[in-house]
Structure 1
Amino acid sequence: MLNLPISQMKHKEKPAEGNITELIEFVLLGFADVPHLQWLLFGLFLVIYIIIVMSNGIIFLITKLDPALQTPMYYFLGNFSFLEICYVSVTLPRMLMNLCTQRRTISLVACATQMCCILVLGATECVLLTVMAYDRCMAICNPLHYLLVMNHKICIQLVVGAWISGIPIQIGQTFQIFSLSFCGSNLINHFFCDIPPILQLACGDTFVNEMLVYIVAVLIVTIPFLLILISYSKIISTVLQLPSATSRAKAFSTCSSHLIIVVLFFGSAIITYLRPKNSHSARIDKVLSLFYTIVTPMFNPIIYSLRNKDVIMALRRLLVNNALH
């Protein structure tokens, strides 16, 4: 079992660029600072991974198969559940392998690939959550024109746009980060290849790269978050004008599930990527990244299924049909 002392885990001062052999692999320290908890963490994260894949998989399945759920809201929810499975599968399997084998090395190419996938899927999640907020805004604020505006063709275009919009930007961002020289410590004090810990290992001045990270974060995280806030301000304004208390409660219940996921995901992502560099702490970064890589995918099906009668009924129908066959 790898038991690295704290002194080794702290990143050394960045050496100046020079005739130093560049790194070809990194070591993901993950949770090496708690060696006595390795198997407990392995069991915990394995259970979490199984729950995430199975629960999101069930939601994806019932939104595709159940006739009662063939509406724009559930079309987006099904895509969101599939996205969560992809998102968590980029980080958790390798983390589980590292905890199990204690072989924590990752090649530079594998690290860059992992980062690129996380960034692309994270960007997709930002846009898809914005699309889901827009969908709720249209349903509540313009119910008479809702099905006309949110027709099947528009829904497909919005989802495809969400999946591909971040690809060129995030591939470019990954390329500019990994075009830097890494010639100092190869210890990444994180459980996956995220931007802040990787930039800490780069040689020379990384100011331009850090500014580009901020710009991309503003474009992909902050702007969608502001659009979601605008959508919900319109929703709240409309709901408060509804004459019936029952109608108000139903509208708020439909939106609050989505809003909880938004706060969890965007809150942790904004703090991670937009807070000042000198306030970065490896321990805090790891805790925050757990929220947007693991907690949100785990809570998504729980929040939506437990608070949504349509989803519960569809799940019952699926179980009954399987039992009859």
Structure 2
Amino acid sequence: MTSSIAWAMKLILMNKRDQISIYINNPTRYYLLCRIVNMGDSRSPDLKFTDVSDYGYITKVGRYDGTIKPEDEIDFASKKVELSYHKDGSPLYKSQNKGNYKPLYSNFMQPGFRQIPINDCSDILPLINFQIRRPEIYKSAKLDTESTKHKVYICTNKILFTEEQQLFAVIYVRHKHIPLTRISTNDYYSDILARISDETDLCIFICRHSYPAPKPYYDLGFKGWITPYPCNSVSFCNQKSLFDEMVTKLHHNIFDGAFATYINILGDGELFHLTEEKLLVLDEIDIFFEGIVNPVVHKPEFTKFVFEIFKYNPQEFISKPFQNRQMALKAIWDTILYEGKQRNWFN
């Protein structure tokens, strides 16, 4: 992971007090995932994650797996836990202490524990993760009004984001020398939220996930078996283990330089929605290019032409017999070559 890709992306630089509200848009409604505020500046980011609602309790150890049992030692409880990733790398929870007005602060691991400061990010730095077990219990939300200091970011994917689909989401920092694919598919979603310094971006990755059902336990007071209620949860990341998992599982698509170049050309540097129909078109183009020697038009640019022609009805192309599909691509190829010679595109 050493290549570099530069794109003229329309991204804000998060300066002091700038914030982003992140929403999930499923086919029927919007719900708020969180708001991110930079309490520092672009030279020394200090991020606060607010309005992470409907997450229930935080246990004494500062880690919450989405279920609470009577024997758990609950340190504090709130439906609006706040997480701060400070400039020195200290990860802190903030909440009300069992109904008191005085906020309670809790370190992710133990008092004085520090993770990697954002300024020291040299590749990928996971910050917080969301374990979305039950999307339907999120409250519907109205979109915030945007301003120069407040950006609204909407994650939209009608196949991936539904009321039933369990999800895992991570917000992380990536150094700009790491390739990044801005893409949305039926299985995952990857994009850049904002620039947080000259060298780093704040990013989001969401994917399908299956969580084990809560296990029943015997309650001595109730004298019966109880199954815990499955909730959504948010937590700071175990940076080493999640870094290893992301690099291992996403190196062939999200962090692959060639794939990132291809997809980012198709999307003009913006998020590209790769539907199943578009994926079938890509398969046809791959077959077509097997017979092209020393192409004067590279595959990503040719693919853009094809998608532009069939963007409103790719099914029209896919439904053709194989020979007709290849003939259609050959006709587009010949047209590009002819127009290119007439207009001196290849000189």
TM-score range, shorter chain: under 0.3
Normalized per residue, which structure has more helix? 1
Q: Which one has a bigger Cα radius of gyration? A: 2
More strand by share: 2
